Amino acid sequence: MKKNNLLKVFSVGLALFMASCSSDTDPTPTPVGCTVSQTLTSYAFTNDSLESTVAYGGQTLRMQQANAIYDVLNFNLAANNVDLLTMWQNGQGFTNTDLNSTTKNIEGKLAYGSFTNGMINAAERDAVQNDFVAWILDFETSDIANASDPADTNQAGMLGGYELNAKGMEIDQIIAKSLSGALIYDNIANHYSLPVQLNAQNNTDRYVGTSPKPYTSREHYWDEAVGYIYGLDNVESPAYGADLFLNKYLGGNSVATWQITSRDKIYNACIHGREAVVANCPAETERQAVIIRNELKKLIAQKAFHYFDQCGYNPDGVPELDQGNPKWFHYLAEGYGFLYSLQFTDYMNRDQVMGHLNSLTDGNGFWDVTAADCQAIADEISAITGEVRQ
């Protein structure tokens, strides 16, 4: 008997409830037809042979690839000795050859969920992919060549330990924070956890394609969503702060009460959603998926608000965050990336997001941005998402 089949199914006739696509803003639905036992506290699932049925190797690999590329962007590796676009687009050319793959790369999964579910069209997905390519090429042609120069208006270089392009943008931070939406959130919320995708997967036979596996395709699909949160962490006992993306902001050195509450909700929903998949109870799976989607999009919104609030209002009066200081540029880049990520939620669409971001990069770019500009963006994010200072 399965170790984790702990669901009580009260009504078989309602087991297919909410099998169609659902928006990530749907309020958490009331359990209908089944409920979870609430006894599991760890994401550990086995089959009758006590073999683990949890697998998300593809997610772990892509996140490791992203980390390796970030190391280059952050000058932790010799940037001149690698081809960043080959790594990004083809999954090849990594110094750590374990990261090379003929089937897995980062670009192929950007805006993947939004596109496959018809939320954006091919041209819009191309635009997202092209944004990242443009940032990478800018880094290669601008940042590397001027790494030993001081940064200034229209001059790439270093400012207080941060590498900036000619417009004052810190490319490594912009890419990392933008991936939180374009890669991580989009694949979780807009693909793997959606009923239209998840419930179409076989949940009886233990194979994927023609290859025998210890898990069903549906179990694996749910795991792949979970993998984008815990792929570089220990999913059975998360430490948090384990990657550059959303997991990082659920942990870290200084964890606020709201973060602890949010990560506990997310982790428990991951566990109980997997229980529901094992028990073949789509209604309960979707109830848990809604919790995950909502908590993650709130995390993105909170970070976008936070960084623009700090650059604009500087509520704590931190001198390093006065306009034009190195840390101010650093925070502005982080805010830019999280605002970019909001287009993959239903808080804002691409036109709204890019309208703000283009205003930040017009003319001399970040060199022309004022605290008042940041205040206006922080205020709008707060008005749309409800996020405030935590």
Which pLDDT score is estimated for 19? Answer: 36
Decide if pLDDT at 263 tops 80. yes
pLDDT of residue 1: 38
Residue 181 near residue 112 (C-beta atoms within 8 A) = no
Are the CB atoms for 382 and 390 separated by under 8 Å? no
Please give the Cα distance from 144 to 140 (Å, whole number): 6
Residues 6+ apart with CB under 8 A from 178: 131, 132, 337, 340, 341
Token pair listed for 240: 């948090």
Mean pLDDT of 74-82: 61
Q: What is the DSSP string of 202-238?
A: -SSSSEETTEE-SS-HHHHHHHHHHHHHHTTS-TTS-
How far CA 347 is from CA of 127, 185, 385, in Å, comes to 19, 13, 6
The single-letter code of the amino acid at 271 is I
Ranges of beta strands (E only) in 121-209 are 157-159, 162-164, 207-208
Confidence at 259, pLDDT banded by 50, 70, 90: very high
Which residues are CB-contacts of 268 (< 8 A; sequence separation ≥ 6)? none
pLDDT for the residue numbered 74: 86
pLDDT at 48: 86
- Per-residue pLDDT of 313-352, as tens digits, reads 999 999 999 999 999 999 999 999 999 999 999 999 999 9
pLDDT, tens only, 52-71: 999 999 999 999 999 999 99
For residue 87, is pLDDT > 60?
Answer: yes
The CA distances from residue 360 to 168, 335, 353, in Å, are 10, 11, 11
270's CB contacts (< 8 A; 6+ apart) are 43, 226, 229, 230, 288, 292
- Angstrom distance (rounded) from CA 173 to CA 352: 21
For residue 22, the model assigns a pLDDT of 37
Sheet strands (E) in 269-338:
none
Residue 79 has pLDDT above 70, yes or no: no
- What stretches of 22-157 show up as alpha helix (H) in DSSP? 57-73, 84-90, 112-116, 122-138
Work out the pLDDT band at 30, boundaries 50, 70, 90. low
Q: Rounded distance, CA 251 to CA 262, Å? A: 10
Q: 31: helix, coil or strand? A: coil
Q: Answer for the pair 241, 78: CB distance below 8 angstroms, yes or no.
A: no
Distances in Å between the alpha carbon of 345 and those of 102, 145, 270?
30, 36, 19
